[in-house]
Amino acid sequence: ATILVLNGPNLNLLGQREPAQYGFTTLADVEQLCTDAGKRLGFEVTCLQSNHEGVLIDAIHQAGRGVKDGSVLGVVLNAGAYTHTSIALHDAIKGAEVPVIEIHISNVHAREAFRHHSYISPAAAGIVVGFGVDGYVLAIEGLVRKFHKS
């Protein structure tokens, strides 16, 4: 089965964007880390980044169809700022019935108050926050441990 690693708005700027918050690792490096982590665990990893809410929603719907036909295990999602605004992403996760691990590179709870609330969290199967880009690997491991029936 495949694991989808889905990154939302502004995460294409990883490595150059606010390095004090997000570090110097680029999105390409993150995607490679994820592919390697998946391979170690016996899963193929597909990566997608979009700055557009609807593209993220479509990808979650498609992953949901994959979960039903057994081709997809679940999604690791960093929804970026849509985390704090998007009821539509919340509804997409619920509607698609897809296991989602929410991940944030920074510890959002140690930052501005507007980052403390997540519309993703109540629909997520698990949450990884504040471990830097290693969080993506932890999220993949968590997804496999929680949902892979071996």
For the chain, give the number of residues: 150
Please identify, among the stretches 28-36, 40-48, 66-74, 98-106, the one whose residues bind ligand DQA according to the rule CB under 6 A: 98-106
**In this chain, which of 23, 38, 66, 80 binds ligand DQA, going by CB under 6 A?**
80
Q: Give the residue ranges of the annotated binding site for substrate.
A: 78, 84, 91, 105-106, 115
- Per-position DSSP letters for 94-116, written without gaps between them: HHHT--EEEEESS-GGGS-GGGS
Q: Report in angstroms the alpha-carbon separations of 59 from 17, 20, 90, 92, 131.
A: 25, 30, 13, 9, 25
98 binds ligand DQA (CB under 6 A): no
Tell me how many residues contact ligand DQA (CB under 6 A).
Answer: 10
Binding marks (x or -) toward ligand DQA, 25..64, rule CB under 6 A? Answer: ----------------------------------------
Q: Strands of the chain (E only): list them.
A: 2-7, 44-49, 72-78, 100-104, 126-129
83 binds ligand DQA (CB under 6 A): yes
Please say which residue, 46 or 118, places its beta carbon nearer to ligand DQA. 118
CA angle 40, 46, 47 (to 5 degrees): 110
127 residue type, one letter:
I
Please say which residue, 7 or 35, places its beta carbon nearer to ligand DQA. 7
